[in-house]
Amino acid sequence: MKRILIVGVTAIGLAFSSCSTVPLTGRSRLNLVSDEQVLPMAFQAYSEFLTENKGAVLSASNAEASRVKMVGNKIIAAVKSYMNNNGHADLIKNYSWEVNVVQSKELNAWCMPGGKIVVYTGILPVTKDDAGLATVMGHEIAHAIAGHSAEQMSTQMVAQGLGTLGNVATANNAKRQSIFNTLYGVGTPLATLSFSRNHELEADRLGLIFMAMAGYNPQNATAFWQRMSQVSSGSQKPPEFLSTHPSDATRIARIQNALPEAQKYYKP
């Protein structure tokens, strides 16, 4: 039991000592993995994705691709300027920014750790204009800047460690082990979903600020998410507490609450 206690205290101490702060929001985040570990994997995965989808990647001369890259590069420039001028240069020093547009009906866009961005053409009718596009790209870039992927990986590492620790601690008591496994098996996935929803809302908040920094009025973000809500209204969604994304109503309400903060960064 003494050995288990030492391991537990060590794990807790490691978790607390491995926290960093998200720029602008000030939220403390768990970070057990470094850019040196995450970025090479992200860059390789991005390269493999582009190779596998070579025929669908639009050339820079394509009008849609050109517009997406223009908006993306404006946001990237604004984010780099802010980070470099406000003590966060180390967080993006190893980034290798890149924007690509993929021909697909999928309503999606994403930004990998390290600034590797993909926008699918399927979402462009919903973005509608440059401000809508800036809403999407600001949100996805925010996931990378906030280190959400690394935080999810760190959370999973801690959860796996606690699971191992719990099984060791209850190894000599079948009843306690059964109770622990039940609670751990149900509780951990729900906690992870909650982290995902919180990450989405944080990315919304940061995304508003990033689009504002790039010269796009954050007031337009509400209209985009309302359009997204209408597009997805025909699909059956799980209850909010079982979803990795917040409900449309929650998201739009939080965005409206965050607009005054974002508006401070907006310079037309």
Helices (H), 100-173: 124-127, 130-145, 148-169
Q: Euclidean distance between the first and final Cα of the chain, in Å?
A: 63
CA dist 224 → 13, 144, 183 (Å)? 43, 21, 39
CA-wise closest residue to 202 among 237, 158, 251: 251
Structure tokens at 192: 């992870």
The single-letter code of the amino acid at 129 is: D
| Whether 203 contacts 146, CB under 8 Å | yes
Distance CA 152, CA 130 (A): 31
Catalytic one of 140, 151, 200, 202: 140
- Active-site residue, 261 included: no
Alpha-carbon torsion (248, 127, 137, 156), positive or negative: positive
Burial bucket for residue 36 (CB in 10 Å: 0-12, 13-18, 19+): exposed
Name residue 6's beta-bridge partners.
none
Catalytic residues: 140
